[in-house]
Structure 1
Amino acid sequence: MTGTSSRRGLGGAPPEPDPDRRTVRRPVRTGMTWGARLLVGGLVMLVAVVGVTALRVWQVARVDDQRPSDAVVVLGAAQYNGEPSAVLANRLKHAEQLWRDGVAPRIVTVGGGRTGDRYTEAEASRDWLIEQGVPSSAVEAVPEGADTLGSLQAVAATARQQGWSSALLVSDPWHSLRARTMARDAGLKAYTSPTRSGPIVQTRETQLRYIYRETGALLFYELTHASVDTASSGLG
């Protein structure tokens, strides 16, 4: 009996585990650390802000908010020796039609010039409008500003000097929200009536590119209240 019992203990059934010896399992960490969560949360917020801003740029671009105003203000774009570029010419045609429709008693053209230019954007625009039959008394050039912000601040100063306050801004659709924001910050009661013609609004690819540019430019302005250089875009 003793021998049989011994053999079973060695080669037979395995011995029962000792109830006093428990295996201690360490907790398994799952999920992200707080730092990672903060990073992901920040990225989600950034994407949301950019997305909402792009949506606002697109929404305002689609709206023609024309109404009786003290002035139609044409935002400047490139000119070549006194001849408006295609972008600027389409803005001027739209502004001329608004004036002929009686929306405002005056058209204000804006935009400075680069070193060596014989004309400023404002002067080239004024001359073009007069050539189309708009009386010189109804056109005023404000040849200041190297970008949208500088030009609109100059227009706001002119408005205060002359005693008027409301402006209907004419530019390309994707530029409308940023221009309106800057004009209102400068003290103008500003609304927008974007042109629907010209090279900037002809293709989907061009439209998407300018929505992208304007989204970044508007975010930069809202963060810094400074202008970003977009002279090469024709949007100022």
Structure 2
Amino acid sequence: MARLMLLVLAWLAGVAGWIVWVGHRDDARPADAIIVLGAAAYDARPSPVFEERIRHGLNLYRAGYAPVLLFTGGYGTGARFAESQVARRYAVRQGIPEEAILIETSSRTTLQNLLQARELMRQRDLHSAIIVSDPLHMSRALRLCRHLGIEAAGSPTPSTRFRSFQTQWRFLLQEVYFFHRDLVARVA
């Protein structure tokens, strides 16, 4: 029984290590679009987490990595604006041309974000993307991209609002859970 427990703990530590490792790799390379994954918005303002993602997406756009910014994220409960609308408004105020921005307003989860992004990419004949999200979220986002057939490279935000040990630990545990949930869902 002790060996089994050690094996399980080693596996979980390995999965957590992989998630952290992927989240610290910036593989940004020229692509057709930069997909900024949604996060909470407070009315017309992005949450601090979402603002970090948006800013990083804008920096990649300005550096010439892709000609299109694709913001994802739908309406939160009772929200007047979709997350992606808030992101577009933020980007335009930062001097990004509206014609360089695509949005979808119906998604509520990471999987839905990427399904909607994939559809917008198909409609506009875009084939490759840079995914922007938080470091600890990057592993799952890229795994879902592979599953959905999206040719993607990850570029995690260089700064994250998940700074304290408690928030990082909780986020990491959540991502370890999602890793296993997704694994079981594919087998079923």
TM-score, structure 2 normalization = 0.92
User: For each residue in 1:152-199, what CA deviation from the matched residue of structure 2 results, as whole angstroms up to 9, or x when unmatched?
Assistant: 011112212221121111111000000111112111011111112242
Task: Indicate which of 62, 67, 79 corresponds to 2:29.
Answer: 67
| Alignment partner of 1:82 is 2:44 | yes
Aligned pair 1:162/2:105, yes or no?
no
- Identity rate, percent: 33
Query: Once the two structures are superposed, what CA deviation does each residue of 1:66-102 show, in whole Å capped at 9, x if it has no partner?
Result: 1001111101111011111111111111110100000
Q: Which has the larger radius of gyration?
A: 1
Structure 1 residue 40: deviation in Å?
Answer: 5.0
Selected match of 1:208 from 164, 169, 174: 169
State the distance in 2 between where 1:222 and 1:153 align: 18
Query: Could you say what secondary structure the match of 1:97 adopts?
Result: helix
Contact 1:53 1:219 in 2 (8 A): no
Q: 2:7 & 2:171 partners in 1: Cα distance?
A: 23
Aligned equivalent of 1:191, options 143, 153, 161 = 153
Q: RMSD between aligned alpha carbons? A: 1.5
Asked which structure has the greater RCO (Cα within 8 Å, sep 6+), the reply is: 2
SS in 1 for 2:140: helix
3-state SS of paired residue (1:168): strand
Decide whether the 8 Å contact of 1:73 with 1:169 is kept in 2. Answer: yes
**Partner residue in 1 for 2:109:** 147
1:222 to 2:183 alignment: yes
Which 5+ residue runs of structure 2 have no aligned equivalent?
A: none
Amino acid at match of 2:175: E
TM-score w.r.t. the length of structure 1 is 0.74
3-state DSSP of counterpart to 2:16:
helix
Matches within 5 A, 1:169-188: 169-188=131-150
2:55 is matched with 93
Matching residue's letter, 2:12: V
Deviation at 1:120, TM superposition (A): 0.5
Kept in 2, the 8 Å contact 1:111–1:142? The answer is yes
Shifted more, 188-197 versus 99-108: the winner is 188-197
TM superposition shift of 1:41: 5.3
Cα contact 1:77–1:88 (8 A) shared by 2 = yes
Deviations 1:52-73 (A, max 9, x none): 2111101001111110011111
* Residue 103 in structure 1 maps to residue 65 in structure 2: yes
Alpha-carbon offset, residue 46 of structure 1: 2.8
What amino acid maps onto 2:148 in structure 1? A
SS in 2 for 1:190: strand
